[in-house]
Every structure is written in C-alpha cells, then in structure tokens.
Structure 1
Amino acid sequence: MVIFLRTFNIKTEEWKVVRSSFLYFFFLMSSYFILRPVRDEMGIQAGVENMQWLFTGTFAVMLFIIPVFGYLMKKVSRHRLLLKIYLFFGLNILAFYLLFLVVPSPILAASFFIWLSVFNLFVISIFWSFNADIFDSEQAKRLYGPIAAGGSCGAIFGPLVATYCVGFMGINNLLLISVFFLLIATFFLGHLMKAAKRSKEVNLQTSPISSIWHGLILIRRSPFLKQVGLFILLYTSISTFLYFEQAHIISEAFTSSEDRTFYFGTRDLLVNSLTLILQFFITERFIRKAGITIALMIVPLIAVAGFFTLGLHQAVIALLIVQVLYRSFNFSIQRPSREILFTRLSVHEKYNSKNFIDTVIYRGGDAISGWLFAGLNAIIHSISLISLLAVPIAAAWMLTGFRLGKMFNAIPSKTDNYEEQTIIQKKSA
C-alpha cells in the first residue's frame, strides 16, 4: 500500500476519499460504455446525413432539463438531489429496456441516441463538479490522474462485459447490466457525500445554482470564464467534426452493422487502454511538471496534425490512429486539466458557470458545428477538404488553451498558505 501511495503521490489521509472517487467513476463509466457502441451504431442507422438532427435534439433536451435541474437544486439539498438524479437515470434505462422489447423503431433508436448523449454529459459533469468540491487545486493536480483512471478502467471493463455477455444475453439485456453498475456508482457517490459533509468548506444542504442564465451572467462578467467558454466551444466543435468524419468514413468502409459495431468497440478498447496507461503513469507528472498551459494545448496540437492527416488520407487506419490519440490524450490530460480550472473558483461560481458551459456551450456547440459540417459537405462534397478547413479551427483552439493557462496561473490559489493545504485531512477525518 505504501509503495502504491508513493507511486501515485497520494497522501495516506487522502486514500479513502480517492478510493471512493475511483470506484464511483469506475462503475459510472462501466455503465455508460456498455451502451456507447450501440449508440454510435444507432446514429449511423439513422443516416449520416441526418446526424446533425440528433445533435440538435440533444441540445434541445439539455435546454429543457437544465432549468428543471436548477429549480430542483433550489428546493432539494444537493445530498439528496444528486443521489436521486442517478436513480432517475437508472429508471430511464429500465424504461428503454421495456420499450425496446415492445416497440423497437427508428424513432426509439434516435431517442436512445439523444438520451445517452445527455446522460453521458450530465452524470460525468456532476462527477467532476463534486470532486472539485472535495479537492483543492494542489490536490487536483496530483489526484485527478489516478481518479480519472477509475473511469478509464470502467471504460475498458464495460465494453468487455458487453462483448462477453451479448452472445448469450442479447443486446437488450445489456441495459440491465448497465443499470446495475449505475446503482453501484450511486452507492460510492454516497460515500463521497459523507466525506464532503464533514467539511465546513462544502455545504450540501444549500444550493449553489440559481438558474442556467445566472451562469451566463457570471461568464459575461469574468474574462477567465469567457476564455473557458471559448475553449469548450472550440473543443466541442472540433470533436463534432471528427465524429461526423468518422460516421462518413465508417459508413462507406463497412456495409454491415456488426462490422461497424466491432470497429466502434475496438476503437473504444484501444482508446481506453491507452488512456488508462497515461492516467496511471503520466497524467499527474505531466500536469505538475509541464503545467496547465501545456496540458491544455496538447490535444489541440494533436487535432491540428490529425485533421491535416485526414485531409490527405481518408483511410480507416488513419481515422483510427487519430481518434485513439485524440480521445486518449483528451481523457487523460485535457479533461483533468479542464476540471482543475474550476478548483480556484467559489462553489457559487463553479456550479453556475459549469452549469451553463457544460450544457448550452457544450451541446450548443455540438449542434452548431453539426449543421456547419452538414452545410460544408452539401456545398463542397469533400470530407478531405473539410478536414483541412478544420485545421485553423484547431489552431485557434490551441491558442485559446495557451491564453487560458496563463490566466489560470495568475489566479491566487486557495492553498498558498500551508494551513489551507490540509483541507483533505479535514474532509477524510
């Protein structure tokens, strides 16, 4: 145990909290990644020329859900509400299970695609927001790598379970396994709740969220949050372009649903395996030594090289290499770095701004860039040329990461004083 803690730079008093967070993320991602390959295949079955409608539908659903979420946060304590959100999503999965048994249809498949996209963004955003409540920026730089590795382990375990069980259980019954894993994730969320409630810094009985538009007001007033919003907008635009390119390349390369699903499963396995290695052995050291600025720029740099490559070679192997590098470094380096950005904000600023950024900006960017891709494809009829047009967007994203990192480093840390660096001891006592 001592060797393990030293290897990953985890203090003894932090171990129980890190372990609970690791297992929480593990089962959460296991639940999601059992269903992800199915979602991607349903998107192609709905027609690659109609995919922008699925992204627009996801954005519309998020706009409806978030005001409801903000209202509930005013009426119900965070402790009770966050647990109920996971139970609610579990009931949603059971409802889809029954509907697929009774009335399978293209509309139901599209609905499942939209629902899973909302589920993914919503529950993972809650996970990282809650961890930002528990850990300060100094701890986040050390601990977010090992904690994020829990998600990567789950992202490997989930597809393996799905691959093993689908042969004798069928696709529909995978939803039941997903519900089971989600319930276990909720159990470990409860463990983290207990740790947070022991801290005076985290009050789970009062709501930090007023409304989705209050987040917009905070962003308009803060140059730092404006830069965060721009960074996320460019990120989601580049990711959507890459996703649409994937749909076009894979739909042309493979004719059968089984072959496409196999590709998606193989892609996820490679991405999550590399991500796990990076998170365990690279993330903490890289972020600590290279700094937030470089950490925010590394994935945009991969995107620049990747889209330039796809502009020259529209081959499946080129797509696979670009996706594996892009997504694995995103999950292992950029995502923890993005979450560290919020650790120097107050609870009020964090929840309200993340509420707006993770919904309106993130999913709105998906929808806008989806229509932009569709419009460009209708005009120039060349995926290769669209890839080259994405290169300057990725370069602008990299420049934004540079500016954002400099702004973050200029914000005074809450743990500049030695006494404040013992927060985790209070929270895990």
Structure 2
Amino acid sequence: MSTWRARIEQGLNVKPGEGPAVMAGLALFYLLFTGYFMLRPVRETMGVAGGVDNLQWLFTGTFIATLVCLPLFGWLASRVRRRHILPWTYGFFATNLLLFAVLFAYNPDDLWHARAFYIWLSVFNLLTISLAWSVLADLFSTEQGKRLFGLLAAGASLGGLSGPILGTLLVAPLGHAGLVVLAALFLIGSVGASIALQRWRDRHPLPATAEHPASRPLGGNPFAGATAVLRSPYLLGIALFVVLLASVSTFLYFEQARIVSETFTDRTRQTQVFGLIDTVVQALAILTQVFITGRLARRLGVGVLLVAVPLVMAAGFVWLALAPVFAVFVVVMVVRRAGEYALVRPGREMLFTVLPAEDKYKAKNFIDTVVYRGGDALSGWVKRALDVIGDHPQLAMLMGAVIALGWGLAGGWLGRRQRQLEAQNLGQEPATAAGAPNTQPPFI
C-alpha cells in the first residue's frame, strides 16, 4: 500500500506529508465549485431572460455591487484573524443563498429577483474563489505552489464537472429554489475543508510563519489593497492582465448569449445547454491540471501558463469572425474556458506566492473583484457599441483577437517578473514570505 501511495504521490508531484493538505485543498475547491456551477446555468438563464441587449447593464450593476463589497471585505480582512476570513465570508454568502431560495420559491418568475441574483452570483463567484486562492497562496510556499496549484485546481474542475451535471438533472424536480439551497450546503462544506487545511499548516508551519501565525489579523485599512496595486508595477501588471482576460471573456460571453438565445428559446433548455458546455470544459481541464500544469510550471516557468491560452484565443477569435456559427463558438468557448481553468488560473495564482501576506488577501481581492468586474463592465459597453455601430459580430471578434494578443504580452512580462521576485525571496525568505511584515520596497 505504501509503495502504491508513494508512486501516486510521485506521479502527482506531491511530497511526503503533503497528502492531507492536498486532500483538504481539493475538497475546498470541489465543494465550492460544485455549488457555484450548479447555479451558473441558472444565472445565465436569468441573464438571457432580461434581454440579451441589456446584458451590459447587468455587468455595470455587478461592477457597482463589487465596489460596495470591497471596503466591507477589506474591513473584515483587517480586523479578524486570517484563519477566520474565509469561514466568516462563506457563512455570510450561505445565508444570502437561503434568502434567494425563499424569493425563488415565492415568486420564481419575478424579473427583478432574476436580475438581483445574476448580479449577486457574479460578485459571489469572484470573491469566494479569489479568497480560496488567497488562503492557498498564504499557506503554501512558492515552490509548493508551482508543484501543487495545478493539481488543486483539478478540485475546482471536478466541482465544475459535477455541478453542471447535478444542475441539469435536478433543475426540473427541485426547481431553482432547490438548487440554491443545495448550493448553500456545499458552500458550508467548503468551510470545513478550509479549517482542515489551516490545521495541517499549524502542524507543519513554514519557517517564516513561526513568529507571525495566521491567528493574527492583517491590520491596515480597508482600502489597502487598492493603494498597494497603485504603488506596485508588478501588481499593476497583474491588474492589466486581469482586465484583458475579462475583456476576452466578456466578448465571448455576449456572443454566447446571442447565439444561445437565437438557437434555443426554452429557459429550461437554455439551462441544460449551458450546463452541458460547462461539463465538457471541466472534463478537459481536469486532465490538463492533473498531468500537465504542474510540470509545465516547474520546467518552463509560470510565464508559459500565462501566454499559451491568449495566443490560442487570438486565433480562435479570427476563426469565429470567419465562421460565426454555434458549432464554432462552442469549440472556441470550450478551449478558452478549459485553458483558463487549467493553465491561466493556476499561473495567475502562482504570481501571488512571492508577495507579502497582506497583498495576498487585500490586493489580490481588489484585482480579482473590482478590477475584473471593471474590465467586464467596460468591455461590455464596448462590445455593445461595436454591435450597434456596425451590426456585425465579426468586428467585435476581430477586436477580441487584438485584445488577446495584448493579453499574451502582459502574461509574458509577468512570468519574467515573477521569476525575478522568486529569486530575490530565496535570499530574503524571512522578510517577505507569507505572514511576515511587508518590508518590500513600494515598487515591487
């Protein structure tokens, strides 16, 4: 048994003693993403119900809601112990889900309930996922992140695979209200997984965290994340990367809404189609995350994870401009999302492992929520303007190709800068690792 265990650990780049942490991290992401991806097709259906031509308003509303949530999360992160940030945040969102379940059960066809849920879930998914990655970046070293983040992301893809299946099968018998209650239970389960991960790190502390345990609050002010980004070229580079990523995603998202609404008119059928796309995406992502991502990061560096997908997407946009049909769109969308989950997201999270603890929570959260949703809102209006001016989807797709090339250039620069910071930290580990005071110069 021990021989087989050793072989499995070696094949997955897991070192002795890391098994419990890997299992807890996988469970954290699996439960979180299963609940979210059960609700994602519901969100898409409700977005279409409000009218495809009104999606830019939903994106703007999401951005405004994100701005409201930022200081609240910043206050929480500054005041409570680091190990309690995730449980308190997830507990709040689980309560929100139960409230929406009541609203859907009482009046399932109310358009304003649908719009409110669309905006709420769009804020929820970025904040909760960003916070889960913040915990991992805080608890794992840079070397562990390179080996394990791709594997841990497979838990997200497993959840992203089972969530749409459950949603597709259960939406008819349970209705949208029942799916929301079930998602709340999965979210509470992910809290338990995060507690287990924290306890593992307590038993196996990193050398640099011995004097600054996760039991202490981060301190600072609620807006420290925004100011940190503005003072750091490295964090500004990550913010630009996220804006370009969001723009690419938004251009495809609007095209998805247009094509699906024209091809399928029934709301239940739309939810099933969205769920089927999610299932295919996650199945491809899992294989890449388990067997390829970690090895690419260790041998070729983080940069390759950040550049490959943008270059492929530039070609995909050109193809979609030449053949704007449902089959081509599905191929491009699946490749983009599978590549983002398997390569871009783990690579993006590895960028934060070289930063101080406060930046891993506050600056990262600011980038993952406000910056991302700001990019969503801006690109949503740009996409709508292109559609109105030219009334040709091909124009927006060609613009998307240009944005994807810029996305790739930003990823290449970040990969090189991350290697430089990692090399610096190897000689200054006690001063800059997770949990230590922020003694790095203002311009990271």
Q: Normalization by structure 2: what TM-score?
A: 0.91
Question: Residue 181 in 1 paired to residue 191 in 2?
Answer: no
Distance in structure 1 (CA, Å) of the matches to 2:425 and 2:415: 18
Q: Which amino acid aligns with 1:386?
A: A
State whether residues 344 and 414 of structure 1, in contact with CA within 8 Å, keep that contact through their aligned partners in structure 2: no
Match of 2:265 in 1: 255
Distance in structure 2 (CA, Å) of the matches to 1:160 and 1:209: 42
Q: How does 1:28-39 map to 2 (within 5 A)?
A: 28-39=32-43
Per-residue deviation, 1:125: 0.4
Per-residue deviation, 1:7: 0.8
Per-residue deviation, 1:221: 2.3
Distance in structure 2 (CA, Å) of the matches to 1:28 and 1:378: 38
The counterpart of 2:63, out of the listed 55, 59, 84, is 59
The counterpart of 1:408, out of the listed 392, 397, 418, is 418
Q: What runs of 5+ residues in structure 1 fail to find an aligned partner?
A: 425-429
Question: Residue 115 in 1 paired to residue 116 in 2?
Answer: no
Per-residue deviation, 1:255: 2.2
Per-residue deviation, 1:372: 1.0
| Structure 1 counterpart SS, 2:296 | helix
State whether residues 25 and 150 of structure 1, in contact with CA within 8 Å, keep that contact through their aligned partners in structure 2: yes
Distance in structure 2 (CA, Å) of the matches to 1:45 and 1:192: 40
Distance in structure 1 (CA, Å) of the matches to 2:197 and 2:226: 29
Match of 2:274 in 1: 264
Distance in structure 2 (CA, Å) of the matches to 1:67 and 1:326: 32
Match of 1:295 in 2: 305
Q: Which amino acid aligns with 2:244?
A: L
Question: Residue 22 in 1 paired to residue 32 in 2?
Answer: no
State whether residues 63 and 370 of structure 2, in contact with CA within 8 Å, keep that contact through their aligned partners in structure 1: yes
Distance in structure 2 (CA, Å) of the matches to 1:329 and 1:412: 25
State whether residues 81 and 218 of structure 2, in contact with CA within 8 Å, keep that contact through their aligned partners in structure 1: no
Q: Which amino acid aligns with 1:89?
A: F
State whether residues 294 and 402 of structure 1, in contact with CA within 8 Å, keep that contact through their aligned partners in structure 2: yes
| Structure 2 counterpart SS, 1:234 | helix
Match of 1:166 in 2: 171
State whether residues 168 and 272 of structure 2, in contact with CA within 8 Å, keep that contact through their aligned partners in structure 1: no
Question: What CA deviation, in whole Å up to 9, does each residue of 1:232-260 have, x standing for no partner?
Answer: 11111111111111111211222222332
Q: Which amino acid aligns with 1:162?
A: G
Per-residue deviation, 1:79: 2.5
Deviates more, 1:253-262 or 1:397-406: 253-262
Per-residue deviation, 1:50: 0.4
Match of 1:203 in 2: 213
Q: Normalization by structure 1: what TM-score?
A: 0.94
Deviates more, 1:88-97 or 1:65-74: 65-74
Question: Residue 78 in 1 paired to residue 88 in 2?
Answer: no
Per-residue deviation, 1:401: 1.1
Distance in structure 1 (CA, Å) of the matches to 2:49 and 2:158: 29
Aligned pair count reads 422
Q: Which amino acid aligns with 1:174?
A: L
State whether residues 296 and 405 of structure 1, in contact with CA within 8 Å, keep that contact through their aligned partners in structure 2: yes
Question: What CA deviation, in whole Å up to 9, does each residue of 1:89-138 have, x standing for no partner?
Answer: 11111100101111330000011111111110011000000000111111
Say if 1:171 and 1:215 are closer, same or farther in 2 by CA, change over 3 A. Answer: closer
Match of 1:319 in 2: 329
Distance in structure 2 (CA, Å) of the matches to 1:415 and 1:407: 12
State whether residues 26 and 154 of structure 1, in contact with CA within 8 Å, keep that contact through their aligned partners in structure 2: yes
The counterpart of 1:374, out of the listed 384, 387, 394, is 384
